[in-house]
Amino acid sequence: MGSTSLFEVIVIKKISILEIFKMLFSHASFNPGKTVVFKTQALTMRSAKKAHFQVDGEYLGKVNQLSALLIPDAIKIMVPAAR
């Protein structure tokens, strides 16, 4: 059985400079009171108020709905064989 591909969704419930630095520069655990990490293949998020969203490093602005779907084998990557 092959492995199932998943992507991560990081929800920051309360903005904290320390949590942002943890995400950018270390592998330290997130504070569960401020940050939640989900792993999934598909996602639809809605919020009552518009919120800042970033997807794969691309800032999408303030939105109140977002959908994402992982498409297996959508990209083929070729690398040279090891010698």
Nearest to 48 by CA among 62, 61, 69: 62
Separation of alpha carbons 66 and 53, rounded Å: 9
The answer to whether residues 71 and 41 touch, using CB atoms and an 8 Å cutoff, is no
| Whole-number pLDDT of residue 40 | 92
Those residues whose C-beta lies under 8 Å from the C-beta of residue 42, and which sit 6 or more positions away, are 68, 69, 70
| Whole-number pLDDT of residue 1 | 42
Single pTM value for the model: 0.55
| Whole-number pLDDT of residue 17 | 74
| Whole-number pLDDT of residue 27 | 67
The answer to whether residues 5 and 70 touch, using CB atoms and an 8 Å cutoff, is yes
Separation of alpha carbons 59 and 71, rounded Å: 21
Please list the pLDDT of the chain residue by residue as tens digits (83 residues): 445 788 888 877 776 677 677 767 776 666 667 778 889 999 898 989 998 888 777 888 899 998 888 888 788 888 898 87
